[in-house]
Structure 1
Amino acid sequence: MARNPFKPTAGATPPVLVGRDSVLEDLDEALEDGAGSPYLLQFITGARGVGKTVMLTEMGRRARQQGWIVIDETATPKLIQRLTSAVRRHREELGAPSRRRITGAGISLGPLGGANLALESPDKATPGLREEIGMLCDALDLHDGQTGLIITVDEIHTIPQSELDELTAITQHLIREDRPLGLLMAGIPQAVERMISDNAQRPKVSTFMRRAERTSLEEVPLHSVAAAFEQTLTEAGRSVSPEVALECAQATGGYPFMIQLVGYHTWRIGKTGEVTSAHVTAGREKARKRLGDLVHAPALADLSPVDRTFLTHMSQDSGPTRAIDMQIRMGEGSNYISVYRDRLIRAGMIQPAATYGRFEFALPELREYLRDHAAQLIAQSEN
């Protein structure tokens, strides 16, 4: 029996990366252009589960294929320290020595004359991240002159302020030196915007971040999802009609993580032979439950009791919510509702709707999850 080709694990690269060709083509061109290309400095943003981590992984894979050194990181404390160690390790693997500094010089006036230099050992003056990247780039230039260093940082909006200041300053200096360096960062869009606005009083940081390219990952068109299902299932030895492949796509809503969940559970239910409509229906229900466990429950757990109550009241609507309705349901004034609406927008849980003055859920199936767990969530909020 063939192995299940779908991978519904956070960050795992799926068999087919659907609907992201233009993003990857921009990166491919940037790698060919080298130092100074705008797409070597960019934010990858999008809602939870839309594939930001997967995109960073794929970008790193493509860069490695072209001979670039890639370091993958997450924006947790001691990021700069870990990056420095990783760059140093790659430099040493290339056989590039650390530069030693001249600490003194002398001239002898004896019969033979002569000069001497006192060199400081690398152990006594360990280079920092900027110096390490410079030495690594020098080594790569001698090696082939066509590649450089790519650093990917996930969850960039969680970076400690001091490390953000340092990373920004180092990257700016290296770009000014025309070093072949790429910095690819991923985060929830509202949180990234908040991070930028919070640094408005730090012109060097805010200007640097505003100049980075923005790539927003959205839902994938259903026709592309259907084609991907058909391709993946066929290549894995199963048959599926175009109509059933479209049913699979519709069950996902174009949400990348749901593509993997629906595919995984639909495959498991059928196991062999043709994939049927019944398989898709059963697979969708299992996928919805897993989406709730893996995405919705952790996201809600990070919120305040009032945030959860706000979302639960929103779930009463079958479409976008009006602020006036929330005032009535929660028994609060317009300012109160505005504060919590804005908090939840920044958290990536809701977003402005197309209709002016209304807002809606940013995550698929969240409304249904809240309805199913309303009593439990309200009880938690009251405790």
Structure 2
Amino acid sequence: MGRNALIEDFDDGLDAGPGAFGRATLITGQRGTGKTVLLNALEDCAKARGWLTIAETATTGLIARLVDDHLPRLLAEHDPHGFDRRITGLTAGPVGITTTVVPDEHRPRPTLRSQIARLTDVLAVHETGLLITVDEVHAGDRAELRELFTVYQHAVREERDIGIVVAGLPVAVSEMLSDQVLTFLRRAQQVDLAAVANADVAAALREPIEAAGRTIADEALGIAVSAVRGYPFLIQLVGDLAWRANRDATDVSVDDAEHAARSAPRRMGAMVHAPALQGLSQVDRAYLGAMAVDDGPSRSSTVAERMGVAPGYGSMYRQRLIDAELIRPTAHGYVDFAMPYLREYLREHAVGDAPER
């Protein structure tokens, strides 16, 4: 499903009522494919309908942040009965009658479920609802995600106006779908953000240039499209580099496009590749370095040979890098890099020595 189709389905789900298809959405995609941008777009759709939104990332403490920060803040802003006074005594004074108020020690402690229930009750009066988005669920604490999704299911059964959109890397999300408590995710609308078609890349590059009063020739556009390699992150990067290469010219030229094509890999290396490689072990880095020798997909046995390790030993790190979405299997026994220009980045940077046997 394309991005525009997903947004339309999400819009329809918000209008259709509690439990409607599209209100629970699972977005997967490689790094840089636009998951966070799409989450932002869906949040904007909800806000345009008057819904309240909570945007979070699945790092440790997710439930605590919802219960102690986001939900209390929204309740304080929107619940007209949020401040409850209890009169325990009256005192007559020279200027009138005063009351004393003490905390109710027996008041139930707010929970994720009770706070969502109260907030959606308040919003129901205004015919709106609550949207929760959670990015990077692949890195989340499984127990916290179970709690969030379980509470969401209860809210749906109670016909509350609530939606949830989560996003993460494909392999890790696939593992989540096997969790017995998280099975409802299998029934959610699932969207895999694959590479963008060249025609769509061309339109995404040309339209803002022309909207700003400049032009770009077909040859220059073709160079820019090739540099993007269908990767959403690179659309804006290549377009920006080509635009700024010669700001005063009315036309984005072939030279401008070639400048962008040369500069984009280096910029992507600093912005995407370097952070993605942080935290890798020495052996992980050695595996990637051994792959970077090839101009295309690498044979797994050849990579192990270059590392000086047994094939079985190398396969363990092969799987780790697949799980990290840095490489992907192509054909039986072959792997390739999952992100554009990662091979070139590795060739230019030391990634670690081969491990001792």
Report the number of matched residues: 337
Give the TM-score normalised by structure 2: 0.87
The aligned runs of 1:100-179 (5 Å cut-off) are 121=104, 124-144=107-127, 147-179=128-160
CA distances 1:211-242 after superposition (whole Å, capped 9, x unpaired): 33321111110111111211110112221123
1:224-373 equivalences under 5 Å are 224-272=200-248, 273-353=250-330, 355-373=331-349
The answer to whether the 8 A contact 2:124-2:161 is kept is no
- Name the amino acid aligned to 1:159: G
What letter is aligned with 2:227?
Answer: A
Which residue is 2:43 aligned to?
60
Distance in 2 separating the partners of 1:122 and 1:158: 38
Q: 1:363 Cα shift?
A: 0.5
Paired with 2:342 and 2:45, the residues of 1 have a C-alpha distance of 34
One-letter code aligned to 1:294: M
Change (3 A) 1:287 1:275: same
- CA shift digits 1:22-53 (9 cap, x unpaired): 22122111112131123211221111111111
Aligned to 1:46: 29
User: What residue in structure 1 maps to residue 168 of structure 2?
Assistant: 187
**Residue 377 of structure 1: aligned partner:** 351
Q: Are residues 170 and 77 of structure 1, via their aligned partners in 2, closer, same or farther at CA, if it must alter by over 3 Å? A: same
- Aligned AA (1:224): D
8 A contact 1:292–1:369 mirrored in 2:
yes
C-alpha deviation, 1:344, in angstroms? 0.7
CA distance in 2, matches of 1:123, 1:80: 23
Distance 1:169 1:77 in 2: 18
Distance 1:46 1:214 in 2: 11
- The one of 71, 92, 96 equivalent to 2:76 is 92
Structure 1 residue identity aligned to 2:4? D
Code of the aligned partner of 2:332: Y
5+ residue gaps, structure 2: 87-101
User: Alignment RMSD, CA only?
Assistant: 2.3
TM-superposed CA distance for 1:317, in Å, is: 1.6
SS class of match (1:39): coil
Deviations 1:117-176 (CA, angstroms, capped at 9, x unpaired): xx98499444222111111111121113xx211101111122223322321221121121
SS of 1:183 mapped into structure 2: strand
1:70: Cα distance to partner? Answer: 1.0
Give the C-alpha shift of residue 89 in structure 1.
2.3
Partner amino acid, structure 1, of 2:209: L
TM-score for the superposition, normalised by structure 1: 0.82
Aligned-partner residue type, residue 71 of structure 2? V
Match of 1:116 in 2: none
Tell which deviates more after alignment, 46-55 or 33-42: 33-42
Query: What is residue 56 of structure 2 aligned with on the other side?
Result: 73
User: Counterpart in 2 of 1:105?
Assistant: none
Code of the aligned partner of 1:68: W
Partner of 1:5: none
Distance 2:64 2:320 in 1: 32
Unaligned segments of structure 1, at least 5 residues: 1-18, 103-118
- Confirm or deny: 8 A CA contact 2:305 2:311 kept in the other structure: no
SS of equivalent to 2:213: coil
Measured at CA, do residues 48 and 27 of structure 1 come closer, stay the same or move farther in structure 2, by a change above 3 Å?
A: same
Amino acid at match of 1:176: R
- 1:267-296 Cα offsets, whole Å, 9 max, x none, are 111112210011011112221111001111
Conservation of the 8 A alpha-carbon contact between 1:99 and 1:122: no
SS across alignment from 1:378: coil
Contact 2:328/2:338 (CA < 8 Å) preserved in 1? Answer: yes
Q: Percent identity?
A: 42
Structure 1 residue 372: Cα displacement: 1.6
Quickly say closer, same or farther: Cα 1:380–1:124, change in 2 above 3 A: farther
Letter in 2 for 1:323: S
Q: Per the alignment, in what secondary structure is the counterpart of residue 73 of structure 2?
A: helix
Shift of 1:66: 1.6
Distance 1:381 1:185 in 2: 38
Whole-angstrom CA distance in 2 between matches of 1:126 and 1:132: 10
AA aligned opposite 2:110 = P
Are 1:230 and 1:242, in contact at CA under 8 Å, matched by a contact in 2?
A: no
Measured in 2, the distance between the counterparts of 1:324 and 1:77 equals 38
